[in-house]
Amino acid sequence: MWTFLQGFALQYTPGFAKEFGSGTFNGALWALFTEMQFYLLVPLFYRFMKNRKIKSWLVIGIVLIAVQIGGTELAAASHSRGLILLWKRGILAQSSFFYIGSFLYVFKDTVLNRLIKYAPWLFAGYTFLYILWNIFDIGILQMLATDCLIPILILTLGYFLGQHRLRYDISYGIYLYHVMIINIFLELQLALNIGTILLIVLLSCGCGVISLLIDKGFRKILP
């Protein structure tokens, strides 16, 4: 009951009735309900997929992407805000990101190694599509590009650039807090200019440093 209410009813965010996620005061927390589904389903997913061959992965992946696109189109066609909200918060609406990442990790020695050779071309192709859909309305093709190409591109470029480990990596802290900082600026209706952009960057980096220090402190305490 708590999970259901937190997911669909009791959202302690100013303006949540009008906005979804970005634009609300603590909009960074909107994904928690989806993440809870993800953590519940991961053990079942692993048990079902761990011994599957690549052909099975590809077939299931195509089916999931088709369901994701079809569900999104049907929810939008219904013009029901409740149905659209329900669909967006369901794991199926985000399934391609997780599935493609899992697929590339499992087959990193074969598929990912081949993709690495074409990393610059993948980046060029995605850039071309990005320009294209900013000029024309390409509908479903835009969804395919964002939901499928982005996770492939991120992982491919990550492996393409090689192993670089920073001693003081604050990127995870920036990832955790930057949306909340942006949403505070949106809530306060501050004008977007060079000054506010720099302030957002500085505050995000500051929160990243604080997060790193807290994390290091806990590591010393924990056995």
Q: Is pLDDT of 8 > 60?
A: no
Q: Which of 135-144, 181-190, 192-201 has the lowest mean pLDDT?
A: 135-144
Residue 111's contacts (CB-CB under 8 Å, 6 or more residues apart) are 54, 103, 104
Predicted TM-score of the model (pTM): 0.65
pLDDT, average across residues 94-99 = 84
**Rounded distance, CA 188 to CA 204, Å?**
17
pLDDT band at 220 (very low <50, low <70, confident <90, very high): low
Q: What are 151's two structure tokens?
A: 């996770």
- Among 180, 174, 159, 164, residue whose Cα is nearest residue 209: 174
Which neighbouring-strand residues pair with 83? none
